[in-house]
Amino acid sequence: MAGLVARVVVVDSFSSDATTAIAERLGADVLQHRWRNYADQFQWGVDAAAPSTDWILRLDADEYFEPALCAELRAALPALDPAVTGFYLRRKVIFRDTWIRHGGYYPTFLLRLWRNGCGRIEQRWMDEHIVLTRGEARRSSGDFVDHNLAGVTAWTDKHNRYATRQMVDFLNLEYGFFPVDAAIEREAGSQARMKRFLRNRVFARAPLYLRGLLYFFQRYFLRLGFLDGRDGFVFHFLQGLWNWILIDAKIDEARAFIAAHGVDAFKMRLATHYGIELAPREPLDD
């Protein structure tokens, strides 16, 4: 990404490994902030970093740009019409060194690059998106890569935590733990908006457990996920079936707990057992 990025900011949540030392050695600015969720962490980072660049790029630790995308953006950004305020970047998922081409996973476009002051992030516990507050967006023809390098044990541990956050977002539709940003829902790009509609209006109303089976069937068979081979089967099974069965089991448990002990006790349980505090985002100077 040399010649494309002027400044790299790493937002760390007081990690105990060598992350901060490595980032600083490579020239990144490192900021520390107590973890709450991805959306909160990212928005805090943007606010705290106070970027002066024309554009802001979001990139997670397991993601990188392919050379073609770097070249495309280096050529395109200086010549863009001011009305273009964002770029939907095409994502390529690599799982166990296998490119997941099918099952609806490629191409997927995510808004990851936007003009400074023209984007914000959804305040959700999981599956948050950047959306433009004004202007229009273009799509890239090059790819950025989401490459899992940590192995299947770390992957399932991570998705177990994700499933808890997904459970919170689904239960929020029933219990109203925290407000939903309606403006974000309206402003989101067509792909994100359709995904949100299907999740909140269709998937959320489908029977628990059955919806995971149906989702896996359409993804693996109707959308040709089986063409991704052995590693593709592992990915589609874990991400498309196991993950949703796990989410539904957590929803089942949570509903039973709320019925027995009430919503306030459930919020306390989330905080003490999972570190999920359903509270407003902290002010910048905290």
Residue 168 belongs to some domain of the structure: yes
Question: Residue 284 has what pLDDT?
Answer: 43
Q: What is the pLDDT of residues 28-74, one digit of tens each?
A: 999 999 988 888 899 899 999 989 999 999 999 899 999 999 999 99
Question: Residue 281 has what pLDDT?
Answer: 45
pTM: 0.88
Identify the domain containing residue 237 by its residue range.
152-274
Straight-line distance from the first to the last Cα atom of the chain, in angstroms, rounded to the nearest whole number: 33
Residue 198 belongs to some domain of the structure: yes
Domain count, the chain: 1
Residue ranges in the chain whose pLDDT is less than 50 = 280-286
Question: Residue 126 has what pLDDT?
Answer: 67
Residue 104 belongs to some domain of the structure: no
Residue 286 belongs to some domain of the structure: no
